[in-house]
A and B are shown apart, each in its own frame.
Chain A
Amino acid sequence: MTVQGWLLIAAFVGILLALTKPMGLWLHALYEGRRTPLHAVFGPVERGFYRLSGIDPEEDQSWRRYAVHMLIFNAALILLTYVLLRAQALLPLNPLGYGAVSENLAFNTAISFGANTNWQSYGGESTMSNLSQMLALTIHNFLSAATGIALAFALFRGFARRSATGIGNFWADMTRVTLYLLLPLSIVLTLFYIASGVPQTLAASVDVSTLEGVKQTLALGPVASQEAIKMLGTNGGGFFNANSAHPFENPTALTDLVQMLSIFAIGVGLTYTFGKAVGNTRQGWAILAAMMALFLAGTAVTYWQEAAGNPVLHHLGIAGGNMEGKEVRFGIAASSLFSVVTTAASCGAVNAMHDSFTALGGMIPLFNMQLGEVVIGGVGAGIYGFLLFAILAVFVAGLMVGRTPEYVGKKIESREVKLAVLAIAVLPLTILGMSAVASVLPAGLAGPLNKGPHGFSEILYAFTSAVANNGSAFAGLSANTPFYNGMLGVAMWIGRFFIIIPMLAVAGSLAAKKYTPETAGSFPTTGPLWTGLLIGIVLIVGGLTFLPSLALGPIADHLAMIRGQLF
């Protein structure tokens, strides 16, 4: 570990904390439906969209209607992507003449992008036409992110409203977030990326005759426009197979830093928006403090392990940190930081190959996802996931003192706790259940590239990534098979929507409640005691379930690594 490495991490956290309030205030304006300066530009677009599709943005929807409209809209988007991918060969903007995407891969990819996962069973530059990249995939990067933020808004309203029947309007939330936040920021980021060396062209490739006189064909395309929203919307689906490790996606250390900041920017802002919505910004900061503590602990472990390097290679006379799967321009520090950021959020972009990390260095990304990606988390999904843990935390605190728990002015009763547990239980049930199935069936065992415990880690990582809607991989796993495309497609769908529905039910149930003012007997949910309790609940409820699986995978791998045992 180096001083420069820690300076980078400190600068990253410092910039994020500085971004939290302005981003949170902007989001709060969208949450309340207030006019922003950008309405002058996109206001007519917003109104035109509502008029053409017959939407009344003022309609206050019950949680059921909110959920149904969100689901049907997402189904329509997923259908569009499936059709476009299947028909790829017949459509324009396909200069390399790629054929139709297979049924099982199109199914997997459509759900993957629709569920904000962006798991990629394919190599972008060798499978997708430019039209598919733009129309079938980029559109999800915006709208799955906007859906996540809209859902977070709905839950905020559940806490903030009193004796209300509705939790807002899905169409208005989703459209406003897209037009006044995601699109304008993406335009700015796209221009920055192009200026830094990310291609943006309709040409698909260029032939190079290298200095040694060999022919090299470089894949090109409209990369920058996809890159911008891929990070900002915590989607993570790369234009190229190597994702943000590819020099065309992430050419410099500065673009790398901007990409990491983009992943967290909206997530940290939403903690502030939550505090503002419930009338006490300290509630938001308390949540952010718990998230940051978990984030820094993970970063420290991964950075320490990667900098310490692989004893197997040290034995061969190669000193220093673990550079297998890492790019020189990023080095150990920025690669470690990126891996923790991308899995703490539900991004899943990678600037280094997690499969080649040291055993414990690679365990942290895995563990981050198993916690449910609530450490900052995906846009919207992070905060609503974390608030479900907060409900459990006040419940536990209430049990200890023997009174009905309250959180930000709402009584938390049996219904909310049951729904929160239901949502939280989806992760271990699906991840561990599906990993177990894949670990015994021949079709599952055919997947891993690496042998021994690391092979099991590849399977576990895949299902964790899918259910948690992350999309990063221990990419040695050969996942483009009917078995894995099918299983992971279902896993992603469950991981997204089986959490959303109970969460919206909590929102509806909370919105209907009266306001319960804080009394001397209320458990304070702003101080360090609360932050500590939150961290404990996230680790115990979210993490402990997975410990046995981690012992079989990364921990066994680590013990083998220090003994020099190879597979």
Chain B
Amino acid sequence: MNNDILSSLRPAFVMTGLFAALLGLGYPLAMTGVGQLLFPRQANGSLVTENGKVVGSTVVGQAFTSERYFQTRPSAAGKGYDGLASSGSNLGPTSQVLHDRVKEQVATMQAAEPGKPIPADLVTTSGSGLDPDITPEAAAYQADRVARVRGLDPAAVRRLVDQSVERPLLGFIGEPHVNVFELNRRLDGIGAKQTP
């Protein structure tokens, strides 16, 4: 037994050092180099720049709360869409807090647009708190409001939503979804054209 322990010490400590260098430094640093070379946009966060300012990432969601925009889902990341504090609500199915939160939001939405069925994703928080997407139903739900607030033709906004729906790969890998950031950028695009 003692012999087993003594014979293990040199391999254990030297291998720890060697593997730390190879796997802890060599591998991630080499991958960073190759990634930056081959896919610089994605490797840096798929950022979108407008007029020299970074306005968002096509991958990670940002908060949209104004009526002028298609809104993102409720978020439990920090105070909402906090990119340094990703998190879900972690509220269980029998949570009073969850029930009250959803009830309040449903009441607000029904007061604004009575009788319209509310898509589930608009009143539930996502796993990350940074969900970039909403369902096509949730986008359609908001289309008339956005058109009204912006003074746009509702049919044009609905068309824009339809064009923005990303379909599942091969029909079954993933769910149909709309990237809210990209939809709102397109929306700003047509808004700019119509406003004299």
Contacts and interface: CB of A to CB of B under 8 A. Distances in A.
B174 A200 contact: no
A552 B131 CA distance: 33
A208 to B, nearest CB: 5
A40 interface: no
B161 interface: no
Nearest to B132: A247
Interface in B46-74: 46-47, 53-66, 69, 73
A209 B173 contact: no
B111 interface: no
B164 interface: no
B19 A142 contact: yes
A318 B27 contact: no
B187 to A, nearest CB: 9
Interface of A: 4-5, 7-8, 11, 45, 49, 52-55, 64-65, 68-69, 72-73, 75-77, 80, 123, 125-126, 134-136, 138-139, 142-143, 171, 175, 178, 183, 186-187, 190-191, 194-203, 205-212, 214, 216-220, 222, 224-226, 240-242, 245-248, 251-254, 256-257, 309-310, 312-313, 316-331, 333-335, 350-353, 355-359, 449-454, 457, 474-476, 557, 560-561, 565-567
Nearest to B27: A225
Contacts of A134: 24-25, 28-29
Contacts of B36: 200-201
B28 A356 contact: no
Interface string B74-97: 000100011111111111111110
B90 A356 contact: yes
Contact of B43 (A194, A257, A356): A194
Contacts of A203: 44
A11 B172 contact: yes
A196 B42 contact: yes
A200 B32 contact: yes
Given A318-B120, A353-B89, A210 B63 contact: yes
A209 B53 contact: yes
A356 B93 contact: yes
B11 A54 contact: yes
A147 to B, nearest CB: 11
Chain B interface residue number, banded: 35 or more
A409 B11 CA distance: 35
Interface stretch (B121-129, B143-151, B152-160): B121-129
List of 8 A-B pairs having minimum Cβ-Cβ separation, nearest first: A253-B174, A245-B127, A476-B90, A331-B175, A353-B88, A53-B14, A135-B24, A454-B92
Contact of B84 (A219, A352, A359): A219
B70 to A, nearest CB: 11
Nearest to B100: A566
A52 B63 CA distance: 54
B12 interface: yes
Contacts of B24: 134-136, 138-139
Contacts of B20: 80, 135, 139
24 contacts: A53-B10, A53-B15, A64-B4, A65-B4, A69-B12, A72-B8, A72-B9, A135-B24, A183-B22, A187-B27, A196-B42, A208-B55, A208-B57, A209-B54, A214-B63, A242-B88, A242-B127, A254-B174, A312-B98, A313-B120, A316-B106, A327-B131, A356-B88, A356-B89
Contacts of A327: 126-128, 131, 133
B23 A183 contact: yes
Contacts of B106: 316-318
Given A202-B32, A318-B123, A359-B93, A76 B12 contact: yes
Contacts of A214: 62-63
B173 A253 contact: yes
B190 interface: no
A564 to B, nearest CB: 9
B56 A225 contact: no
A302 to B, nearest CB: 13
Nearest to B98: A324
Interface in B166-196: 168-169, 171-175, 177, 181, 184-185, 188
Contacts of A210: 55-56, 62-63
A325 B125 contact: yes
